[in-house]
Amino acid sequence: MTEIPEPSVEAGPHLSAALVVVAAALALLAAELPLVAAAILLGSVVIHRPLLARVVGRPDGSTSLPVDSVPADRNRTLSRATLASGVALLFIGAAQALGAARFGLSVTTVSGILARTTLALVAEAVLALALVHYLKRRLR
């Protein structure tokens, strides 16, 4: 019988371990992004400078004037939208954590990374569409 040579241990495990570390780091970063964005949005509401007021701007199209000079009803609408977006992003981050804990969507497997990222992107797209619809309706 011919003996089958054993694979080289030196190149294989180091490469696969490095790929696992990189994949895990990227997956953790992707999982943390909704939470970081939520913290920024909610923090801007807490300091009474809603971030969406800066992004949407004033009715005349400028963003250079302070948010305090924006009409109260417009500022209230933008504050509510910023708050709702921040809370929704917290839920998206929590759903990713739940998916990892309950359904085994690991940060070290390609299928787990793809499933969690896809679900988060779909939820964020729905959030963006709902936000645009709400702002178009309220800021006429």
**Tens digits of per-residue pLDDT, 10-69?**
544 555 777 767 766 776 776 788 889 999 999 999 998 888 888 876 666 565 555 556
- Is the residue at 4 inside a domain? no
15 vs 1: CA distance, rounded Å: 32
**CB contact burial 41-66 (16+ within 10 A = b; e otherwise):** bbebbeeebbbbbeebbeeeeeeeee
Is pTM, for the whole model, over 0.75?
Answer: no
The pLDDT assigned to 63 comes to 55
Looking at the domain assignment, is residue 46 inside a domain?
A: yes
Residue 73, domain extent: 32-138
Does residue 105 fall inside a structural domain? yes
Task: Tell me whether residue 85 is in a domain.
Answer: yes
Interval 88-106 mean pLDDT: 82
- Structural domain total, the chain: 1
